[in-house]
């Protein structure tokens, strides 16, 4: 019986981690008694085994079986590479996942592949090399973790599909990688090599996609994270600089002031005194905390968030923002959410310090508490949350008694589409209606993928929507009410809920929002219609 690879059995042996730099025009013979990873860092050459030859250059990784002999021929610039030897414990009973042995065996058969995340692999290899003789048990455990991370990256590289290669897709992965690994010593050359794109093309396409060259983008991500740490932790400036990838506190201070307009120390000490806020599409949280922004966000087609009652607060059109007008109102601090790219709100940093909230979406409690912590209103936030939970508990019982097993759905009408909102995990309405309040979902909602916030409905799908109660809202578009044309369709007028007069129109802004006041309004609307 062929043995299978045991779960978590990739245990490295550190006896042969080496950094090699050979002279030009030479051949090197490798005799490998154990499994080995060959990670090419610089230079060019070829790996020969039997009748096969594999091209070697920066970013290539090789996975080589034991008891084999390999010849490496070098080109004139020589070759720099790591070899990392490791052992595998074999087991007849415990497979490494369902197809673990097949994955590993196929990778070994392929021998060489371009490393999908070369910069990350290089960092792991560098760190392993630096700590190869560690005697401290914690550092030895760290080495195990580093090796497993490296091995996982290499396996992914071997099983990546070549036909899926697309420059923009690869750079999009690099952008995501930078956002996640901003604290590591990333270089443009390594990022380009990991994408298997020459540096010029990489930088050009990167700027086309982000509006920034890679180093500017990296610094922007780091400073954004630093702003969060300055306002939510008590770490000193040196600790924060190191946490976001800067080894030099002076350089960190200089880059921070260039982007934010004040030093990290001034940013931290000044925010608690600020009272003049601008928070586009986040006003719900400020009003809940009993803070009135100096100016409120509006949209030329959608209007403003009327449910917040800020009738005397000046408005600014987010779709074509007047920066001189915003500056005239002198906001001292600006909150932005993950949608700031859509409205080109990065320019807000020219007017006052900004704080970009980490994406939380459905987790409105996290957003509320974070804003409250920054502006010194934690107690008020806790009170707001407690009052909301009590409101939910009361409404839950009333709605349960009123509805029994009747189902509820939420529809949003645009001029060119009808959208059905999803289940208890995602979206503006589902987590409140189906999770917190326990309302019954139509079958079509239950069948929606858990990661989807909404789905587009055809008229045929609308006619079969199994909901006894429909809550509907309309996009406020330039089309002059064209979004209501759906109401004259046969599919709509023959729907059982429509015929039974169980359709309830609700406010667009209050229902297409995540804030606590938005949710309170939804509960009020539900009780008015159903309770």
Q: Which CATH class for the 274-359 domain?
A: alpha beta
**262 to 227, 277, 500: CA distances (angstroms):** 11, 17, 61
Looking at residue 420, its pLDDT comes to 97
Looking at residue 89, its pLDDT comes to 60
Give the three-state DSSP class for 408: strand
Domains 274-359 and 386-530 share a fold: yes
SS (H, E, C) 73-98: EEEEEEEEEEEEEEEEEEECCCCCCC
Looking at residue 168, its pLDDT comes to 82
Superfamily of domain 386-530: Nitrogenase molybdenum iron protein domain (3.40.50.1980)
In whole angstroms, give the CA distance from residue 287 to residue 48: 69
Looking at residue 25, its pLDDT comes to 52
In whole angstroms, give the CA distance from residue 21 to residue 29: 14
Looking at residue 240, its pLDDT comes to 94
In whole angstroms, give the CA distance from residue 84 to residue 65: 12
In whole angstroms, give the CA distance from residue 143 to residue 131: 7
Give CATH for domain 4-160: 2.60.120.280
CATH 1.10.10.60 is the classification of domain 164-270:
yes
In whole angstroms, give the CA distance from residue 304 to residue 315: 8
The domain locations on the chain are 4-160, 164-270, 274-359, 386-530
Instruction: With CA atoms as reference, report the closest residue to 171 among 201, 147, 143, 141.
Output: 201
**146 to 50, 68, 136, 153: CA distances (angstroms):** 32, 26, 15, 11
Cβ neighbours of residue 299 under 8 Å, at least 6 residues apart? 317, 318, 319, 476
Looking at residue 270, its pLDDT comes to 63
Query: With a cut of 70, which residues of the chain have pLDDT below it?
Result: 1-27, 75-78, 88-107, 116-117, 159-165, 270-274, 477-480
In whole angstroms, give the CA distance from residue 346 to residue 42: 38
């Amino acid at each position: 019986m062929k043995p299978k690879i045991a779960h978590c059995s990739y245990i490295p042996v550190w006896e042969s981690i080496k950094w090699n730099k050979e002279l030009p025009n030479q051949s090197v013979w490798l005799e490998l008694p154990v499994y080995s990873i060959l990670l090419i860092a610089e230079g060019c050459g070829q790996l020969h085994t039997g009748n096969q030859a594999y091209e070697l250059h920066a970013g290539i990784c090789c996975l080589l079986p034991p008891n084999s002999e390999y010849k490496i021929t070098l080109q004139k610039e020589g070759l720099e590479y790591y070899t990392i030897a490791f052992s595998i414990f074999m087991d007849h009973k415990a497979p490494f996942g369902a197809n673990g042995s097949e994955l590993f065996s196929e990778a070994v058969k392929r021998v060489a592949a371009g490393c999908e995340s070369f910069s990350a692999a290089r960092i792991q290899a560098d760190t392993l090399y630096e700590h190869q003789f560690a005697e401290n048990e914690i550092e030895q455990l760290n080495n195990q973790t580093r090796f497993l991370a490296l091995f996982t990256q290499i396996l992914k590289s071997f099983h990546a599909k070549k036909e899926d290669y697309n420059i923009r897709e690869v750079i999009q992965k690099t952008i995501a990688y930078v956002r996640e690994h901003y604290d590591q010593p990333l270089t443009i050359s390594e990022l380009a090599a990991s994408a298997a794109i020459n540096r010029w093309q990489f930088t050009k396409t990167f700027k086309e996609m982000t509006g920034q060259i890679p180093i500017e983008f990296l610094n922007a991500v780091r400073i954004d994270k630093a702003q969060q740490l300055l306002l939510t932790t008590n770490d000193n400036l040196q600790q924060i600089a190191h946490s976001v990838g800067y080894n030099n506190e002076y350089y960190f201070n200089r880059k921070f002031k260039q982007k934010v307009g004040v030093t990290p120390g001034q940013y931290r000490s000044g925010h608690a005194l600020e009272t003049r806020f601008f928070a586009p599409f986040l006003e719900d949280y400020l009003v809940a905390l009993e803070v009135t922004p100096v100016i409120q966000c509006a949209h030329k087609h959608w209007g403003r968030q009327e449910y917040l009652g800020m009738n005397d607060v000046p408005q600014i059109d987010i779709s074509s923002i007047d920066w001189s007008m915003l500056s005239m109102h002198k906001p001292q601090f600006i909150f932005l959410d993950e949608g700031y790219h859509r409205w080109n709100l990065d320019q807000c940093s020219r007017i006052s310090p900004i704080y970009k909230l980490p994406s939380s979406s459905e987790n409105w409690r996290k957003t509320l508490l974070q804003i409250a912590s920054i502006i010194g209103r934690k107690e008020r936030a806790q009170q707001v949350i407690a009052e909301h939970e009590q409101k939910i508990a009361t409404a839950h019982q009333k709605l349960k008694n009123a509805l029994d097993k009747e189902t509820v759905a939420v529809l949003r009408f645009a001029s060119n589409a009808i959208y059905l909102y999803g289940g208890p995990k995602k979206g503006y309405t589902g987590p409140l209606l189906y999770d917190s309040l326990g309302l019954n979902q139509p079958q079509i909602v239950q069948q929606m993928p858990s990661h989807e916030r909404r789905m587009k409905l055809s008229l045929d799908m609308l006619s079969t929507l199994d909901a006894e109660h429909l809550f509907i809202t309309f996009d406020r578009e330039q089309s002059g009410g064209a979004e209501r044309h759906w109401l004259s369709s046969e599919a709509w007028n023959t729907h059982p809920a429509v015929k039974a007069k169980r359709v309830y129109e609700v406010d667009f802004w209050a229902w297409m929002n995540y804030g606590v006041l938005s949710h309170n309004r939804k509960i009020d609307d539900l009780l008015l219609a159903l309770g």
